[in-house]
Amino acid sequence: MIASNTSSGTGYEHGVVTKVIGIGSTGCAVVDHLTQSDWPGARFIAMHTDPAALERLQGAEECHLGKEMPPGMGVSGDPELAEGISEEDAERIREICRGANLIVVVAALGGGVGTGAAPILVRLAKEVGAIALGIVTLPFDCEGPLRQKQARRGFSQLKTNADGVICFPNQTILAYLDKHSSLIEFFNAASDRLVEAVQRLGRILLCPGFMKISFSDLCAVLQGRQMESAFVHLEGTGERRLEDAVSQLVEHSLVKRTRLGSPETLLVHIEGGSDLTMAEVNALIEKINHQFGEAQVVIGTSLEEHFEGAVGLNVLLSRRNFISDTGEPKGVSGGDESNERAGEMSQDLKAHYENQTVERSTYRFVPPPPVLTEERREKILREARDVPWKWQVATKLRPGYTPFEILSNGRFEKSEPTIHRGEDLDVPTYIRRELRLD
Amino acid sequence: MFDSTKILVGLEIGTSKVCAMAGEYNLNTGELKIIGVGQAKSRGVRKAEITDPTLAEEDVRHAIAEVEQMADAEVRSVLLGVSGGHLRGFNNHGVHPVVSEDREIGQQDVNDVIKNAKAINLPAENYVVHAIRQHFVVDGQNSIRDPVGMFGSRVEVNMHVLHGNFNRLQNPVRAVKGLHLGVDGLVFNGLASALSLLSNEQKELGALVIDLGGGVTEYVVYSGGIVKHTGVLGVGGDHVSNDLAYGLKVPLGRAEELKVEHGGAMVDETVLGKTITLDTDSGIPEEVNLEHLRRIMSVRLEEIFQLVEEELAQLGLLAYLRAGVFLSGGGARIPQIQKLAERVFQMPATLGGNRSMEGLNPVLDQPEFGAPLGLVKYGTFQERNRDRSGRLSKGLRSAVNGLLKRSG
């Protein structure tokens, strides 16, 4: 299951304590697989309410939530129950998170434990001072509307709590797996994707490199309410190694056959040996810009000796469906400012939406009254006195300034706005749901 | 007897149209015959509430004149359908101890318990439109339809109360009164739609009626033969047009046309990447993306259903809807709306169509006539009750007269 090409040879950056926490059945299984990969300084912890699921694990540290629950009782797919249990065990979870710089939470949303506990876990991790990143999947369409709904709710909670969330809708697997493959293959592919994503992320964030991608760069790429992502790994060898890799990317079935073919943000991480030339990188950037014209692209490289003569490309494509009202591009580069923003992003977004829905802007422009100086007053009075009587009346009757009708505020200007749970339903749904018409 | 029929007129002052429906009700046989319909385009109404009284009054006059002409009868009073985002429904409970010595529950006890249930703590400006009796409970025994004659020490009743802002309810009443017409009663439009749409079996099985109007969406839940829940969502067909006007960057009138001609509730494969060419005033043809049109419409309609579904799910009513969802109002004309409702509610959805009246002219059996038909139907209930209480009071009066005579 594990991509074997993540060979050792170069070290990860030391001093960064990373804890990867898998939550729920899928999360635990993924973390268990990850223990076999080489990621020094990282701890792998599996969290679940079901002790039987934890017993099956081989390498990962175990954390049993809800010990007070009667044995054999799961949360039976109820996220609220899982939420309660994790609130109950908050102190233990904090203890686990303490001391880490980066907490990566891995879960499959839609069920009980993953959906309910992951947002709480992320919040607690942030409380003890770690950066929290979620890597989650959304259920297949065939899993039913209930799970979809739970997953969506969990995702939005996770989104508000975490610094960044990478989300893989399972449905996109259909793009590259044959429809007639077995069910097991599909679900394995889903969890493989999680495993690979965590490993690639580890490499991108923690490998020392030239033009390093920082965590804030990553968060900038991951902004947006209804974000969805995909990781693509490509390798090229020989003379035209980078071009080779890029054409593989363009031909990739995920790019060709899903909505992610027109991503809004791209994170490109190039792994190369010391023979990587500027011209090559330049050509690559050009080619990517040409292919994904409108997307925002963040590029980083890391140099590794064993890549001599070859190149690896890790690409994180994501659609964020976010309409910025200020027109300001969101966090193109790294730096402290965007780092700060990444932390506050969720709050900002929330506030942004709350403000937007309650208040209605008025378009009526009221000009300031003209300034009346003493001389002017005299002049006006004199003029008024001088003109014949008939005209005097006419001047008196003239209105101050012409009233003029300004463009109306849609059809509902005169009626009371329909506010439902803080959302102004008069605003078109496609705008509130950030549906992109392209 | 020459006065055995009565003309009942239901009047709905809707956001898109004003519709008056006249029915001839035979007091002796209980037969109802629809004899006329009058319609006028509504101009003074937004979100089912009157915003321009002058225009609204004029439209009502047109509709009434039309119905009078068609039915060949004079309209003296109407049953007025009301709606609006300010209407709220909730369930209330009333308790009454049975005081008679033998513990037999009499009519008086029933009247008292209903009175108790109607005593609701509402702000002064609120007005109760409907207080609908649900089931009685006698000493903890549930689901009793009529407790008169039973024995017990405590009788309770559940009521569904629909209330709204008094002043805002007053607007349509004033428009009608301005035309020197009487108001026989205020009826919630959603309830009226449910009355015309559902048969008794469906009310018993449990059904959700959604009236997708021009300005608002009304919904009523029936289960076990009683009204369980009612509500109004201030979103309707106007919002769809408005969304289209925004999204496709066309004027509102054009958006309305596009909605009617090319609209649909689902984005199917046939529309992907398609465009429609429109002729404009400037003579330069304009292109509109059909896929966008459908997508904008689809998300709006889906949201309406989802909001209703969420509310019912919170109240735990979804499991009781064994007969499924019934759609009425102009919105029920949108192609594939049924499919969308089925997808959101995960239960069979049926398009409007009157199931409660016999011998209705098929021309009138349209989804948008659901509410006016229901209003007339409601009138017959009222008439029957009045008839009964009238007879009662007549009997009482004669008894009193007899007493007086005897003493004199």
The owner of tokens 């993540």 is A6
Compute the distance between CA of residue B309 and CA of residue B346 in angstroms, rounded to an integer.
10
Cβ atoms of residues B11 and B81 within 8 Å: yes
Name A367's bridge partners.
none
The distance of B192 to chain A (nearest Cα, Å) reads 23
Are B300 and A433 within 8 A, CB to CB? no
Write the residue in B233, B247, B346 that is nearest to A428 by C-beta: B247
Cβ atoms of residues A161 and A123 within 8 Å: yes
- B45: closest chain A residue by CA: A415
Cβ atoms of residues B86 and B166 within 8 Å: no
Compute the distance between CA of residue B47 and CA of residue B168 in angstroms, rounded to an integer.
12
CA distances from A115 to A71, A96, A105, A133, A211 (A): 21, 19, 11, 15, 36
Q: Which residues of A touch B252 (CB under 8 A)?
A: 411
Dihedral sign of CA atoms B120, B126, B131, B134 in order: negative
Compute the distance between CA of residue A88 and CA of residue B379 in angstroms, rounded to an integer.
58
Q: Which residues contact A41 (CB under 8 A, 6 or more apart)?
A: A12, A14, A16, A17, A18
The torsion defined by the Cα of A337, A343, A344 and A346, in degrees rounded to 10, comes to 130
Q: According to the model, what pLDDT value does residue B217 have?
A: 95
Q: According to the model, what pLDDT value does residue A297 have?
A: 84
Q: According to the model, what pLDDT value does residue A396 have?
A: 56
Are B247 and A437 within 8 A, CB to CB? yes
Supply the DSSP string of A252-295, one letter for each residue: -HHHHHSGGGS-SEEEEEEEE-TT--HHHHHHHHHHHHHHTTTS
Spans in chain A with pLDDT lower than 70: 1-15, 71-73, 224-226, 257, 259, 320-367, 387-410, 438
CATH number of the structural domain B237-301: 3.90.640.10
Tell me the two tokens of residue B117.
């249930």
Q: According to the model, what pLDDT value does residue B23 have?
A: 93
Compute the distance between CA of residue B197 and CA of residue B326 in angstroms, rounded to an integer.
8
Angle, alpha carbons A252-A256-A257 (nearest 5°) = 115
Are B242 and A425 within 8 A, CB to CB? no
Tell me the two tokens of residue A421.
């749970």
Longest CA pairwise span in chain B (Å): 93
Q: According to the model, what pLDDT value does residue B173 have?
A: 93
CA-only gyration radius of chain A, Å: 28
Compute the distance between CA of residue B40 and CA of residue B17 in angstroms, rounded to an integer.
6
CA distances from A11 to A203, A206, A267, B322 (A): 10, 9, 22, 63
What mean pLDDT, rounded, does chain B reach? 88
Are A412 and B292 within 8 A, CB to CB? no
Write the residue in B47, B243, B302 that is nearest to A428 by C-beta: B243
Which residue from A154, A142, A72, A166 is spatially nearest to A112, judged by alpha carbons? A154
Q: What is the ipTM of this complex?
A: 0.80
Q: Which residues of B touch A412 (CB under 8 A)?
A: 46-47, 238-239, 242
Q: Which residues of A touch B241 (CB under 8 A)?
A: 411
Residue A296, SS3 per DSSP: strand
Judged against a pLDDT cut of 70, whether residue B297 lies above it is answered with: yes
Judged against a pLDDT cut of 60, whether residue B66 lies above it is answered with: yes
Q: According to the model, what pLDDT value does residue A63 have?
A: 86
Residues of chain B with CATH 3.90.640.10: 237-301
3-state secondary structure chain B: CCCCEEEEEEEEECCCEEEEEEEEEECCCCCEEEEEEEEEECCCEECCEECCHHHHHHHHHHHHHHHHHHHCCCCCEEEEEECCCCCEEEEEEEEEECCCCCCECCHHHHHHHHHHHHCCCCCCCEEEEEEEEEEEEECCEEEECCCCCCECCEEEEEEEEEEEEHHHHHHHHHHHHCCCCEEEEEEEHHHHHHHHHCCHHHHHHCEEEEEECCCCEEEEEEECCEEEEEEEECCCHHHHHHHHHHHHCCCHHHHHHHHHHHCCCCCCHHHCCCEEEECCCCCCCEEEEHHHHHHHHHHHHHHHHHHHHHHHHHHCCHHHCCCEEEEECHHHHCCCHHHHHHHHHCCCEEECCCCCCCCCCHHHCCHHHHHHHHHHHHHHHHHHHHHHHHHHHHHHHHHHHHHHHHHC
Q: According to the model, what pLDDT value does residue A367 have?
A: 66
Tell me the two tokens of residue B347.
């239960």
Cβ atoms of residues A31 and A22 within 8 Å: yes
What is the distance in angstroms between the CA of the first residue and the CA of the last residue of chain B? 34
If one compares B284 and B90, the residue with the highest pLDDT of the two is B90
Cβ atoms of residues A146 and B309 within 8 Å: no
Name B288's bridge partners.
B276
Q: Above pLDDT 90, what percent of chain B?
A: 59
Burial degree of B19 (CB within 10 A; 0-12, 13-18, 19+): buried
Residue A301, SS3 per DSSP: strand
The distance of A432 to chain B (nearest Cα, Å) reads 10
Compute the distance between CA of residue A9 and CA of residue B343 in angstroms, rounded to an integer.
53
Domains in chain A, ordered, with CATH? 16-206 (3.40.50.1440), 365-432 (no CATH)
Q: Which residues of B touch A152 (CB under 8 A)?
A: none
Are A426 and B289 within 8 A, CB to CB? no
B279-287 long-range Cβ contacts below 8 angstroms, 24+ apart? B286/B250
Which residue from B193, B223, B188, B162 is spatially nearest to B327, judged by alpha carbons? B193
Write the residue in A410, A426, A435 that is nearest to B295 by C-beta: A435
Neighbours of A358 (CB within 10 A): 12
Compute the distance between CA of residue A217 and CA of residue A346 in angstroms, rounded to an integer.
16
Residue A43, SS3 per DSSP: strand
Q: What is the pLDDT of residues B189-241, one digit of tens each?
A: 999 999 999 999 999 999 999 999 999 999 999 999 999 999 999 999 999 99
- B303: closest chain A residue by CA: A429
Interface of B with A (CB under 8 A): 46-47, 49, 51, 85, 233-235, 238-239, 241-243, 245-247, 252, 289, 292, 295-296, 299-300, 302-303, 307, 346
Which residue from A251, A252, A245 is spatially nearest to A268, judged by alpha carbons? A245
Residues for chain B: how many in total? Answer: 408
> Domain B88-163, what architecture?
2-Layer Sandwich (3.30)
Q: According to the model, what pLDDT value does residue A265 have?
A: 82
CA distances from A350 to A102, A427, B58, B346 (A): 24, 17, 46, 31
Are A410 and B245 within 8 A, CB to CB? yes
Taking each helix axis from N to C terminus, what angle separates A113-127 and A145-161, rounded to the nearest 10 degrees?
A: 0
Q: Which of B171, B242, B259 to mutate to test the interface with A (most CBs of A within 10 A)?
A: B242
> Which one-letter DSSP state was computed for residue A214?
P
Neighbours of A369 (CB within 10 A): 8
Are B51 and A420 within 8 A, CB to CB? no
Compute the distance between CA of residue A425 and CA of residue B8 in angstroms, rounded to an integer.
37
Are B51 and A415 within 8 A, CB to CB? yes
Q: Which amino acid is at B214?
A: G
The distance of B294 to chain A (nearest Cα, Å) reads 11
Q: What is the pLDDT of residues B343-369, one digit of tens each?
A: 999 999 999 887 777 777 888 888 889
Q: Which residues contact A59 (CB under 8 A, 6 or more apart)?
A: A32, A35, A36, A44
Residue A25, SS3 per DSSP: helix
Least confident window among A362-366, B93-97, B156-160, B242-246: A362-366
Write the residue in A415, A416, A428 that is nearest to B246 by C-beta: A428
Q: What is the pLDDT of residues A360-411, one digit of tens each?
A: 444 556 667 777 888 888 888 888 777 655 554 455 555 566 555 544 556 7
A87-95 long-range Cβ contacts below 8 angstroms, 24+ apart? A87/A120, A89/A65, A90/A120, A90/A124, A92/A63, A92/A65, A93/A47, A93/A63, A93/A65, A93/A120, A93/A121, A93/A124, A93/A125, A94/A124, A94/A127, A94/A128
Confidence of residue B61 (pLDDT cuts 50, 70, 90): very high
